[in-house]
A = this chain, B = another copy of it.
Amino acid sequence: MVATDSLVLLVLSLDIGALMLPTSDFIIPKEGFRYHHAEPGYVMLTYWIPEGPFMLPANASHQVGVGGFVISGSNEVLVVQEKQCAPANCGLWKIPTRFVLQSEELYAGAIREVKEETGIDTEFVEVIAFSYTYTTHNVCTYNVAFEKSDLFFICTLRPLSAETIVDDPEIEAAKWMPQVEFVKQPFIQEDSMFKKIIDICMACLEKHYCGLTSHQMVSKCDGKLSSLYYNFINMEEIYQLYWQLN
């Protein structure tokens, strides 16, 4: 790290150089403006005109990822191997996962990432679980690019095509893998999070689980089209299942 009075140069890794410019470097923030957010092409500063506390909603706070569990009629799971992977999970065949874009519906993001990573067309079925990971400020203080919380949604999708095509710089290989082989991979069996997620996927297949389906509606509050994700318990189906099990 190189530090001067006016800027901090960080090397986050061998791949990334980063410059962190504090408020004091620019005249405009001194005049009462404050940074609100930045995107690759611009930085936005805002000024709250009325007296009283600053009430403008903060910058976006979370990154959202999605994982797509796709299974064929012959019980094969759609899996990928990534080009870049941590030593612990090299060789792992995993479900496709990717960030959702900032102006993209969640289910559309799931369909897109499965298509990009494997070439397979799908239709969205439901969200079956989500994980929430937050980063506290006292961990790796200067690694500010990652001081946001992550939401990761696990979705089930129905395949509409069969032939895998790999044309993605992050993906080494994609294939259909027998469910039994997929589940018994050591990394999945030894990782509490992965194992639970796969257990839920399997429970879904056996209709022991009800996920959240997407329903589009407009609220009068903002007039925007939104998707409300909620579950629907079919009492009749569950009753029949109960009798099969007992």
State the A residues within 8 Å of B (CB): 12, 14-23, 28, 33-50, 52-53, 55-64, 86, 88-89, 99-106, 128-137, 144-149, 151, 169-170, 187, 190-194, 196-197, 200, 208-212, 214-215, 217-222, 224-231, 233, 235, 238-239, 241-242, 245
Does the CB pair A62–B59 fall under 8 Å?
no
What would 5 A/B residue contacts be, using CB atoms closer than 8 Å? A15-B49, A102-B134, A128-B230, A129-B228, A192-B219
Which of B22, B211, B221 lies in contact with A86, CB distance below 8 A? B221
Q: Given A35-B39, A42-B35, A44-B144, A63 and B62 touching (CB < 8 A)? A: yes
**Which secondary structure characterizes the binding site on chain A?**
mixed
Which of B60, B99, B169, B230 lies in contact with A63, CB distance below 8 A? B60
Copies held by the complex: 2
CB distance from A140 to the nearest CB of B (A): 12
* CA gap between A222 and B191 in the complex, in Å: 11
Does the CB pair B38–A17 fall under 8 Å?
no
Does the CB pair A38–B35 fall under 8 Å?
yes
* CA gap between A219 and B58 in the complex, in Å: 30
Does the CB pair A235–B242 fall under 8 Å?
yes
